[in-house]
A and B are shown apart, each in its own frame.
Chain A
Amino acid sequence: MFLAYLISILILAAIGIILAVSLQLTVGFTGLLNLGHLAFYAIGAYTSALLALAGYPFWFCILTAGVLAMFFGFLISLPINKIKKDYLALATMGFSFVVYAVLLNWTDLTNGPLGLAGIPRPQLFGFDFSQNSNFLLLVAIIALASYLIIKLITISPFGRVLESIRDNELAAKILGKNTFKMKMCAMGASAFFAGVAGSLYAYYITYLDPSSADIMQLIPFLAIVIIGGLGSLEGTVVAAIVLTFLPEPLRFIGFPSSIIGAARQVIYALFLLLILIFKPKGFYGKVKLE
């Protein structure tokens, strides 16, 4: 009983790690305050769910989910040199609203507010991942791979250019770097992993509705990125695990279930606010949000 509960939280933590680490790539490393990350996540989740329901194999669904999310990541970053700083935050948040509206209203495809039910659990090389413990293994491997790939990106010369864009874009331009292309690639890669995380979430939860794209749901991941510290992947992973477990005691205090969701949001948002005031670099961060 307790083990099953632990496994379900660990699965969500692993998905959270993928989502937070990919968000870190844009917010922390490239300095783009992207408030539309959940839109990519939802695009991935719906793509994957629809393909899985149509009977396509796991590897195909998850990759298509990532690639389609990446496509939208490129698309949204086309005007990235004209829309900057706080306007970028507003524009990406707006993108999130548009995706939410489409998921809610394109009922022929997404089944609207009723959502998609009965998404099958994945099978790969004859292995069946319908058991949560097996699924945890799968998610953990993909989370580790995502972490390593993003780590490689950030320590590569490309990653150093991204950090130089964050710290001083003009200087990066003077050195002849095509900052537009670099920012676009960062957004694309970040969106790809958000799509992958969305795909895993759809497979895990087996039921999907538009609330997964709700802007309110961004707060835990934004909190993880900033509390962990901008520009620190290790910090992000630690924060993702800690923050996933943090509100769990609420379940045992005996709050009614309708309040637990709201209470969780308050905890995350309050924690984020306190960090912004008292420790704006987060726990392992190198820079402040600018």
Chain B
Amino acid sequence: MIFAQLFANGLIAGAIYSLVALGFSLIYSTCNFIDFAHGVTVAVGAYLLYFFFSLLGLNFWLSVILTIIFTGLFGLLLNIVVFKELRRRKASNLILLTASFALLIIFESLILILFGADVKTIGYIQVSRGLDILGAIITPLQIIIIIVSFLLLVIFFFFMKKSKIGKAMRAVSDNKDVAEIVGISAERIYNWSFFIGSAVAGIGGILVGLDQNLVPTMGTGLMIKGFAAAIIGGIGSPIGAVLGSYLLGFGENFGIWYLPSGYKDAIAFVILFIFLLLRPQGILGKKK
């Protein structure tokens, strides 16, 4: 009984983390720096949906589409205004990382100033009774989260393997200089990475926002889990990112069998730490 519930919770957590991890992994593998602003991108997604749907009163599906596009543009804008400028000035990846940390703080604070610190609910889906599946209670929305996350993974995987941009992204992440020699513009690929990675994070923000409440700092916790998952799974491998996400989701949820639930966040980091020590390239990553 309790096993089935923890399993279901692990599955849901893994599905959500994988949406954050996919975008992070994409940005990290092409642009080669840890983008902390990715965390606030998730929150921007959730708050944009709140803005379009709950405040402006737009149609729900229109709001969702606008949210995904605008979240992608938000990421693109950060890249063009801040990171591109830094790269032009030959900034190291640690400077880019620190700048992204500053951006995380700036936008989280701005969300707090604009929307207030209190908890917001989008309230599109009425609180529905959960379905009983093999003794685990899951709401219909949570099933949607798992399905969307899975579908996105499949789309993402084929996009990276088959599309022209996907191939160019892999080329840049493999060897930027060679990619530029054969005529791929690295800056263009960085823009695409930020747009797509942020849009996927926006989808994550939408789903989390529908399932849970909105608070300005909601992205930070998710970001940390997403980063941990991507590194555990192996940076640069979308399948690895998803694998890491589910591993983390299950690890956390079965971990609270033994520990108070407040330690969930800590468990993620202990797992990450063990991987950084013993297998820094992750489960599916290639050794450098």
Contacts and interface: CB of A to CB of B under 8 A. Distances in A.
Given A219-B102, A280-B91, A290-B92, A262 B266 contact: no
A222 interface: yes
B183 interface: no
B93 interface: yes
A86 interface: yes
Contact of B109 (A33, A86, A269): A269
B106 A273 contact: yes
A289 interface: yes
B110 A101 contact: no
A83 interface: yes
B94 A91 contact: no
B262 A105 contact: yes
A191 B112 CA distance: 31
Contacts of A101: 262-266
A223 to B, nearest CB: 8
Given A89-B34, A94-B224, A101-B266, A277 B97 contact: no
**Which secondary structure characterizes the binding site on chain A?**
helix
A281 B101 CA distance: 18
A-side interface size class: 35 or more
Given A273-B103, A288-B92, A266 B110 contact: yes
A94 B269 contact: yes
A215 B103 CA distance: 14
Given A90-B34, A91-B272, 7 more contacts: A100-B265, A101-B262, A270-B102, A272-B98, A273-B82, A276-B86, A276-B95
B260 A105 contact: yes
A102 B266 contact: yes
27 contacts: A35-B101, A79-B276, A82-B276, A83-B277, A86-B33, A87-B231, A89-B34, A89-B97, A91-B273, A94-B224, A94-B269, A94-B273, A101-B263, A216-B217, A222-B101, A262-B109, A262-B113, A266-B106, A266-B110, A269-B103, A270-B106, A272-B102, A276-B91, A277-B85, A289-B95, A289-B98, A290-B92
Interface of A: 33, 35, 79, 82-83, 85-87, 89-91, 93-95, 97-98, 100-102, 104-105, 215-216, 219, 222-223, 226, 258-259, 262-263, 265-266, 268-270, 272-273, 276-277, 280, 288-290
A121 to B, nearest CB: 31
Contacts of B112: 259, 262
A131 to B, nearest CB: 34
B143 to A, nearest CB: 29
Contact of A98 (B92, B117, B220, B266): B266
B225 to A, nearest CB: 10
Contacts of A219: 101-102, 105
B269 A289 contact: no
B231 to A, nearest CB: 8
A24 to B, nearest CB: 14
A105 B263 contact: yes
A290 B94 contact: yes
A219 B101 CA distance: 8
A263 B85 CA distance: 25
B270 interface: yes
Contact of B99 (A102, A105, A262, A276): A276
Contacts of A85: 93-94
Contact of B117 (A90, A102, A258, A266): A258
A137 B103 CA distance: 37
B227 interface: yes
A82 B101 CA distance: 23
Nearest to A33: B94
A270 B97 CA distance: 15
B89 interface: yes
Nearest to B262: A105
B280 interface: yes
Contact of B95 (A83, A97, A268, A280): A280
B236 to A, nearest CB: 14
A38 to B, nearest CB: 13
Nearest to A87: B276
Contacts of A95: 269
B161 to A, nearest CB: 27
A95 B273 CA distance: 9
Contacts of B106: 265-266, 269-270, 273
A89 to B, nearest CB: 6
B128 to A, nearest CB: 31
A75 to B, nearest CB: 11
Contacts of B224: 93-94, 97
B262 A104 contact: yes
Contacts of B33: 86
A33 B94 CA distance: 8
